[in-house]
Amino acid sequence: MAHFTALKDFLYTQQPKDQNENDLSKVLLDLAEASKIVSKDVCRAGLVDGFLGAQGGQNIQGEEQQKLDVIADNAFIDVLEKGGAVCGIASEENEDFVSFDNDKSRSGKYVVLFDPLDGSSNIDVNVSIGTIFSIYKRISPSNQPASIDDMLQKGTAQVAAGYVLYGSSTMLVYTSGNGVNGFTLDPNTDTFCLSHADMKMPVKGRYYAMNEGNINECNPKIIDYIRYCQSRNNDYGSPYSGRYIGSLVADFHRNLIKGGIYIYPCTINAPEGRLRLLYECNPLAFISEQAGGMSSTGTARIMEIKPEKLHERVAFFTGSKSMVEKAIAFLK
Protein backbone atom coordinates (compact mmCIF):
# COMPACT_ATOMS: atom_id res chain seq x y z
CA MET A 1 0.00 0.00 0.00
CA ALA A 2 1.22 3.52 -0.78
CA HIS A 3 2.49 5.55 2.14
CA PHE A 4 0.07 8.15 3.43
CA THR A 5 0.93 10.94 5.84
CA ALA A 6 -0.81 10.60 9.19
CA LEU A 7 -2.78 13.62 10.48
CA LYS A 8 -0.38 13.92 13.41
CA ASP A 9 2.66 14.10 11.13
CA PHE A 10 0.88 16.44 8.72
CA LEU A 11 0.08 18.85 11.54
CA TYR A 12 3.66 18.69 12.74
CA THR A 13 5.05 19.65 9.33
CA GLN A 14 2.38 22.28 8.57
CA GLN A 15 2.19 24.28 11.75
CA PRO A 16 4.66 26.98 12.74
CA LYS A 17 6.68 25.81 15.70
CA ASP A 18 5.52 28.36 18.24
CA GLN A 19 3.67 27.13 21.29
CA ASN A 20 0.26 28.59 20.34
CA GLU A 21 0.20 26.75 17.08
CA ASN A 22 1.24 23.52 18.78
CA ASP A 23 -1.77 23.97 21.01
CA LEU A 24 -3.98 24.31 17.94
CA SER A 25 -2.60 21.01 16.65
CA LYS A 26 -3.49 19.51 20.03
CA VAL A 27 -7.10 20.71 19.67
CA LEU A 28 -7.33 19.19 16.20
CA LEU A 29 -5.83 15.91 17.38
CA ASP A 30 -8.24 15.77 20.31
CA LEU A 31 -11.16 16.34 17.95
CA ALA A 32 -9.81 13.57 15.72
CA GLU A 33 -9.55 11.20 18.72
CA ALA A 34 -13.13 11.95 19.83
CA SER A 35 -14.37 11.45 16.29
CA LYS A 36 -12.76 7.98 16.19
CA ILE A 37 -14.82 7.02 19.24
CA VAL A 38 -17.97 8.37 17.57
CA SER A 39 -17.10 6.63 14.28
CA LYS A 40 -16.90 3.28 16.11
CA ASP A 41 -20.17 3.98 17.93
CA VAL A 42 -21.89 4.86 14.63
CA CYS A 43 -20.57 1.68 12.96
CA ARG A 44 -21.88 -0.66 15.67
CA ALA A 45 -25.00 1.31 16.58
CA GLY A 46 -27.35 -1.46 15.46
CA LEU A 47 -25.62 -3.99 17.72
CA VAL A 48 -25.57 -2.09 20.97
CA ASP A 49 -28.54 -1.63 23.23
CA GLY A 50 -29.22 2.05 23.79
CA PHE A 51 -27.51 3.48 20.70
CA LEU A 52 -30.35 3.80 18.18
CA GLY A 53 -33.56 5.76 18.54
CA ALA A 54 -34.72 8.85 20.34
CA GLN A 55 -33.27 9.89 23.67
CA GLY A 56 -36.70 10.96 24.89
CA GLY A 57 -35.96 14.64 25.27
CA GLN A 58 -35.62 17.78 23.22
CA ASN A 59 -32.58 19.98 22.83
CA ILE A 60 -32.76 23.76 23.21
CA GLN A 61 -33.78 24.00 19.55
CA GLY A 62 -36.98 22.10 20.34
CA GLU A 63 -35.70 19.15 18.30
CA GLU A 64 -35.95 15.55 19.38
CA GLN A 65 -32.54 14.36 20.58
CA GLN A 66 -31.33 11.00 19.35
CA LYS A 67 -29.37 8.76 21.68
CA LEU A 68 -26.31 9.05 19.47
CA ASP A 69 -26.57 12.88 19.50
CA VAL A 70 -26.04 12.72 23.26
CA ILE A 71 -23.38 9.98 23.11
CA ALA A 72 -21.39 11.97 20.51
CA ASP A 73 -21.79 15.22 22.47
CA ASN A 74 -20.40 13.57 25.61
CA ALA A 75 -17.50 12.01 23.69
CA PHE A 76 -16.34 15.37 22.32
CA ILE A 77 -16.80 17.18 25.63
CA ASP A 78 -14.89 14.49 27.58
CA VAL A 79 -11.91 14.40 25.24
CA LEU A 80 -11.67 18.20 24.94
CA GLU A 81 -12.02 18.75 28.68
CA LYS A 82 -9.28 16.24 29.49
CA GLY A 83 -7.05 17.54 26.67
CA GLY A 84 -6.33 20.89 28.30
CA ALA A 85 -5.93 23.04 25.16
CA VAL A 86 -9.57 24.20 25.23
CA CYS A 87 -11.12 26.33 27.99
CA GLY A 88 -14.73 25.88 26.93
CA ILE A 89 -17.14 24.60 24.33
CA ALA A 90 -20.57 25.27 22.91
CA SER A 91 -22.59 22.58 21.19
CA GLU A 92 -25.93 22.08 19.51
CA GLU A 93 -26.98 19.75 22.30
CA ASN A 94 -26.39 22.15 25.22
CA GLU A 95 -28.43 25.26 25.89
CA ASP A 96 -25.49 27.14 27.42
CA PHE A 97 -21.82 27.02 26.64
CA VAL A 98 -19.68 24.90 28.97
CA SER A 99 -16.66 26.39 30.70
CA PHE A 100 -14.09 23.78 31.70
CA ASP A 101 -12.92 24.48 35.21
CA ASN A 102 -10.24 21.91 35.90
CA ASP A 103 -6.78 23.43 36.47
CA LYS A 104 -5.44 22.23 33.16
CA SER A 105 -8.29 23.37 30.91
CA ARG A 106 -8.87 26.71 32.55
CA SER A 107 -5.76 28.07 30.88
CA GLY A 108 -6.64 26.53 27.49
CA LYS A 109 -6.17 29.07 24.70
CA TYR A 110 -9.04 27.95 22.49
CA VAL A 111 -12.78 27.40 22.43
CA VAL A 112 -14.54 24.87 20.19
CA LEU A 113 -18.10 25.13 18.91
CA PHE A 114 -19.56 21.98 17.41
CA ASP A 115 -22.46 20.02 16.06
CA PRO A 116 -21.59 16.61 17.54
CA LEU A 117 -23.81 14.65 15.18
CA ASP A 118 -25.20 16.27 12.07
CA GLY A 119 -27.97 14.59 10.13
CA SER A 120 -29.99 13.20 13.02
CA SER A 121 -32.78 11.97 10.78
CA ASN A 122 -30.27 9.65 9.08
CA ILE A 123 -28.80 8.03 12.22
CA ASP A 124 -31.25 5.14 12.43
CA VAL A 125 -31.21 4.37 8.71
CA ASN A 126 -27.48 3.84 8.08
CA VAL A 127 -27.08 6.96 5.94
CA SER A 128 -24.03 9.24 6.17
CA ILE A 129 -23.89 11.60 9.15
CA GLY A 130 -21.17 13.88 10.49
CA THR A 131 -19.61 16.18 13.06
CA ILE A 132 -18.90 19.87 12.35
CA PHE A 133 -16.51 22.01 14.41
CA SER A 134 -15.19 25.54 14.62
CA ILE A 135 -12.15 26.67 16.64
CA TYR A 136 -11.47 30.20 17.96
CA LYS A 137 -8.80 31.73 20.13
CA ARG A 138 -10.36 32.76 23.42
CA ILE A 139 -10.66 36.51 23.96
CA SER A 140 -11.32 36.26 27.71
CA PRO A 141 -8.28 36.46 30.01
CA SER A 142 -6.52 33.13 30.50
CA ASN A 143 -7.09 31.44 33.86
CA GLN A 144 -10.59 32.94 33.95
CA PRO A 145 -13.61 30.85 33.00
CA ALA A 146 -14.50 30.95 29.30
CA SER A 147 -17.10 33.62 28.54
CA ILE A 148 -20.00 34.06 26.14
CA ASP A 149 -17.86 36.58 24.22
CA ASP A 150 -15.42 33.76 23.40
CA MET A 151 -18.28 31.94 21.74
CA LEU A 152 -19.94 34.81 19.89
CA GLN A 153 -17.07 35.73 17.59
CA LYS A 154 -17.51 36.37 13.88
CA GLY A 155 -16.69 33.50 11.53
CA THR A 156 -13.80 35.55 10.15
CA ALA A 157 -12.06 35.03 13.53
CA GLN A 158 -12.03 31.22 13.20
CA VAL A 159 -8.49 29.84 13.45
CA ALA A 160 -9.54 26.43 12.18
CA ALA A 161 -12.70 24.56 11.25
CA GLY A 162 -13.61 21.18 9.91
CA TYR A 163 -15.94 18.26 9.76
CA VAL A 164 -15.87 14.53 10.10
CA LEU A 165 -18.02 12.54 7.71
CA TYR A 166 -19.13 9.11 8.93
CA GLY A 167 -19.85 7.78 5.44
CA SER A 168 -18.80 4.75 3.46
CA SER A 169 -15.46 5.70 4.95
CA THR A 170 -14.82 8.10 7.82
CA MET A 171 -13.10 11.29 6.71
CA LEU A 172 -11.85 14.35 8.54
CA VAL A 173 -11.61 17.53 6.46
CA TYR A 174 -10.20 20.71 7.97
CA THR A 175 -8.70 24.10 7.29
CA SER A 176 -6.58 26.34 9.47
CA GLY A 177 -6.65 29.13 6.88
CA ASN A 178 -4.03 27.66 4.60
CA GLY A 179 -6.10 25.51 2.25
CA VAL A 180 -8.26 22.47 2.90
CA ASN A 181 -6.99 18.95 3.48
CA GLY A 182 -8.89 15.68 3.87
CA PHE A 183 -7.88 12.59 5.84
CA THR A 184 -9.41 9.13 5.57
CA LEU A 185 -9.59 6.99 8.71
CA ASP A 186 -7.75 3.73 8.08
CA PRO A 187 -9.75 1.24 10.19
CA ASN A 188 -6.82 -1.18 10.28
CA THR A 189 -4.49 1.24 12.01
CA ASP A 190 -7.10 3.64 13.48
CA THR A 191 -5.15 6.49 11.89
CA PHE A 192 -6.40 9.48 9.88
CA CYS A 193 -4.24 9.53 6.73
CA LEU A 194 -3.92 12.36 4.20
CA SER A 195 -5.95 11.17 1.21
CA HIS A 196 -7.26 14.47 -0.25
CA ALA A 197 -4.50 17.10 -0.25
CA ASP A 198 -5.26 20.76 -0.98
CA MET A 199 -8.93 20.26 -1.83
CA LYS A 200 -10.46 22.73 -4.29
CA MET A 201 -14.16 23.13 -4.92
CA PRO A 202 -14.92 23.25 -8.65
CA VAL A 203 -16.03 26.76 -9.68
CA LYS A 204 -19.24 25.27 -11.02
CA GLY A 205 -20.92 21.91 -10.93
CA ARG A 206 -24.15 20.22 -11.86
CA TYR A 207 -25.60 19.21 -8.50
CA TYR A 208 -28.12 21.16 -6.48
CA ALA A 209 -29.26 20.22 -2.98
CA MET A 210 -32.37 21.55 -1.32
CA ASN A 211 -35.18 20.02 0.71
CA GLU A 212 -37.69 20.63 -2.07
CA GLY A 213 -40.51 19.59 0.20
CA ASN A 214 -40.24 23.18 1.41
CA ILE A 215 -40.40 24.78 -2.04
CA ASN A 216 -43.85 26.31 -1.56
CA GLU A 217 -42.85 27.62 1.87
CA CYS A 218 -40.05 29.88 0.52
CA ASN A 219 -39.63 33.25 -1.10
CA PRO A 220 -40.92 32.83 -4.71
CA LYS A 221 -37.49 33.93 -5.95
CA ILE A 222 -36.17 30.61 -4.60
CA ILE A 223 -38.73 28.83 -6.78
CA ASP A 224 -37.40 30.79 -9.77
CA TYR A 225 -33.85 29.74 -8.92
CA ILE A 226 -34.78 26.06 -8.57
CA ARG A 227 -36.61 26.25 -11.92
CA TYR A 228 -33.37 27.64 -13.39
CA CYS A 229 -31.46 24.66 -11.91
CA GLN A 230 -33.97 22.32 -13.53
CA SER A 231 -33.98 24.03 -16.94
CA ARG A 232 -31.85 23.70 -20.06
CA ASN A 233 -31.18 27.43 -19.91
CA ASN A 234 -28.75 27.18 -17.02
CA ASP A 235 -24.98 27.47 -17.39
CA TYR A 236 -24.71 23.69 -17.80
CA GLY A 237 -27.16 23.61 -20.72
CA SER A 238 -29.06 20.72 -19.19
CA PRO A 239 -30.94 20.25 -15.90
CA TYR A 240 -28.69 19.96 -12.85
CA SER A 241 -29.06 16.72 -10.93
CA GLY A 242 -30.89 16.98 -7.62
CA ARG A 243 -29.04 15.40 -4.68
CA TYR A 244 -30.28 15.89 -1.13
CA ILE A 245 -29.04 13.58 1.57
CA GLY A 246 -30.42 15.56 4.51
CA SER A 247 -27.07 15.47 6.29
CA LEU A 248 -25.45 18.83 5.66
CA VAL A 249 -21.94 17.42 6.05
CA ALA A 250 -22.54 14.78 3.39
CA ASP A 251 -24.21 17.19 0.96
CA PHE A 252 -21.40 19.70 1.48
CA HIS A 253 -18.68 17.07 1.02
CA ARG A 254 -20.14 15.94 -2.29
CA ASN A 255 -20.26 19.52 -3.53
CA LEU A 256 -16.70 20.17 -2.32
CA ILE A 257 -15.43 17.29 -4.43
CA LYS A 258 -17.76 17.33 -7.43
CA GLY A 259 -19.00 20.93 -7.51
CA GLY A 260 -22.53 21.94 -6.64
CA ILE A 261 -24.72 24.12 -4.47
CA TYR A 262 -26.54 23.46 -1.19
CA ILE A 263 -29.31 25.81 -0.16
CA TYR A 264 -31.42 26.00 2.98
CA PRO A 265 -33.42 29.22 2.64
CA CYS A 266 -35.84 30.78 5.12
CA THR A 267 -39.16 28.96 5.19
CA ILE A 268 -42.51 29.55 6.89
CA ASN A 269 -41.53 27.07 9.62
CA ALA A 270 -37.97 28.39 9.88
CA PRO A 271 -38.31 32.11 9.14
CA GLU A 272 -34.69 32.85 10.04
CA GLY A 273 -33.36 29.73 8.33
CA ARG A 274 -32.93 26.23 9.74
CA LEU A 275 -29.18 25.87 10.08
CA ARG A 276 -27.14 27.19 12.98
CA LEU A 277 -24.61 29.93 12.30
CA LEU A 278 -22.00 29.04 14.89
CA TYR A 279 -21.49 25.32 14.52
CA GLU A 280 -22.92 24.47 11.10
CA CYS A 281 -22.64 27.45 8.73
CA ASN A 282 -19.48 29.26 9.89
CA PRO A 283 -17.19 26.21 9.82
CA LEU A 284 -18.46 25.10 6.41
CA ALA A 285 -18.23 28.70 5.16
CA PHE A 286 -14.55 28.82 6.20
CA ILE A 287 -13.84 25.54 4.42
CA SER A 288 -15.80 26.58 1.31
CA GLU A 289 -13.89 29.85 1.00
CA GLN A 290 -10.54 28.16 1.60
CA ALA A 291 -11.40 25.71 -1.19
CA GLY A 292 -12.39 28.50 -3.61
CA GLY A 293 -16.14 28.23 -2.98
CA MET A 294 -18.57 30.66 -1.38
CA SER A 295 -21.09 30.82 1.48
CA SER A 296 -23.82 33.42 1.91
CA THR A 297 -27.14 34.05 3.58
CA GLY A 298 -28.35 35.19 0.17
CA THR A 299 -27.54 38.79 1.03
CA ALA A 300 -24.45 38.68 3.29
CA ARG A 301 -21.20 36.76 3.64
CA ILE A 302 -21.78 34.15 6.35
CA MET A 303 -18.45 34.72 8.11
CA GLU A 304 -19.06 38.46 8.56
CA ILE A 305 -22.23 38.08 10.63
CA LYS A 306 -21.79 39.18 14.25
CA PRO A 307 -23.53 36.42 16.23
CA GLU A 308 -25.94 37.50 18.93
CA LYS A 309 -26.81 34.14 20.42
CA LEU A 310 -25.36 30.64 20.57
CA HIS A 311 -28.04 28.85 18.62
CA GLU A 312 -28.68 31.59 16.05
CA ARG A 313 -30.07 30.37 12.74
CA VAL A 314 -29.44 31.75 9.27
CA ALA A 315 -30.37 31.05 5.67
CA PHE A 316 -27.49 29.20 4.02
CA PHE A 317 -26.27 29.07 0.42
CA THR A 318 -22.96 27.27 0.06
CA GLY A 319 -20.92 25.59 -2.62
CA SER A 320 -19.30 26.32 -5.95
CA LYS A 321 -18.62 30.03 -6.33
CA SER A 322 -20.37 30.70 -9.62
CA MET A 323 -23.44 28.72 -8.52
CA VAL A 324 -23.78 30.60 -5.22
CA GLU A 325 -23.33 33.90 -7.08
CA LYS A 326 -26.11 32.90 -9.46
CA ALA A 327 -28.47 32.01 -6.60
CA ILE A 328 -27.75 35.36 -4.95
CA ALA A 329 -28.50 37.13 -8.25
CA PHE A 330 -31.93 35.46 -8.30
CA LEU A 331 -32.68 36.83 -4.83
CA LYS A 332 -32.07 40.46 -5.81
In the complex, the residues that contact ligand AHG under the rule CB under 6 A are 63, 92, 115, 118-121, 211, 246-248, 274
* CB closer to ligand AHG out of 176 and 267: 267
Closer of 199 and 275 to ligand AHG (Cβ): 275
Measured from the CB atom, the residue of 23 and 280 that comes closer to ligand AHG is: 280
DSSP-based three-state secondary structure for 229:
helix
- Note whether 68 and 123 are within 8 A (CB): yes
Residue 41 sits in the site that holds Mn ion (CB under 5 A): no
Helix, strand or coil for residue 203? coil
Q: Which does 289 bind (CB under 5 to 8 A by kind): ligand AHG, Mn ion, none?
A: none
Q: Please give the residue whose beta carbon sits closest to Mn ion in the complex.
A: 118
Binding-site member from 23, 118, 251, 289 for Mn ion (CB under 5 A)? 118
Q: How far apart are CA 35 and CA 43, in angstroms?
A: 12
Q: Least distance in Å: CB of 120 to Mn ion?
A: 6
Minimum distance from CB of 43 to ligand AHG (Å)?
Answer: 18
Task: Compute the least distance from the CB of residue 317 to ligand AHG, in Å.
Answer: 13
Which residues, including other chains, have CB under 8 Å from residue 305's CB and lie 6 or more apart? Answer: 154, 155, 277, 297, 314
Residue 11 binding target from Mn ion, ligand AHG, none, CB below 5 to 8 Å by type: none
- Partner whose binding site includes residue 93, from ligand AHG, Mn ion, none (CB under 5 to 8 Å by kind): none
- Residue 81 binds which entry of Mn ion, ligand AHG, none, with Cβ cut-offs from 5 to 8 Å by kind? none
Closest CB 313 distance from ligand AHG, rounded Å: 10
Helix (H, G, I), strand (E, B) or coil at 77: helix
User: For residues 127 and 42, what is the distance between their CA atoms, to the nearest angstrom?
Assistant: 10
331: left (phi over 0), alpha (psi -120 to 50) or beta: alpha
Task: Tell me the closest approach of the beta carbon of residue 211 to ligand AHG, in angstroms.
Answer: 3
Nearest to 191, CA basis, from 8, 1, 11, 329 = 8
Q: How far is Cα 302 from Cα 292, in angstroms, rounded to an integer?
A: 15
Applying CB under 5 A, the span of 57-65, 117-125, 196-204, 205-213 interacting with Mn ion comes to 117-125
Q: Which one of ligand AHG, Mn ion, none interacts with residue 211, CB within 5 to 8 A by kind?
A: ligand AHG
List of E strands, the chain: 54-58, 64-66, 86-91, 98-99, 110-118, 129-137, 160-166, 170-175, 180-186, 191-196, 207-209, 241-242, 261-264, 275-276, 294-296, 313-314, 316-319
Site string for Mn ion, 75-114 (x = CB under 5 A): -----------------x----------------------
121 binds, among ligand AHG, Mn ion, none (CB under 5 to 8 A by kind): ligand AHG
| Contact present, 63 and 36 (Cβ < 8 Å) | no
User: How many other CB atoms are found less than 10 A from the CB of residue 103?
Assistant: 9
Nearest distance from residue 246's CB to ligand AHG, in Å?
5
CB of 223 to ligand AHG, least distance (A): 17
**Residue type at 215?**
I
Q: Torsion-angle region of residue 48: left (phi > 0), alpha (psi -120 to 50) or beta?
A: beta
Work out how close the CB of 65 gets to ligand AHG at its nearest, in angstroms, rounded to a whole number. 9
Which CB, 105 or 120, lies closer to ligand AHG? 120
Check: CB of residue 305 under 8 Å from CB of residue 277. Answer: yes
Q: Indicate the residue among 9 and 96 with the shorter CB distance to Mn ion.
A: 96
Binding site for Mn ion (CB under 5 A): 92, 115, 117-118
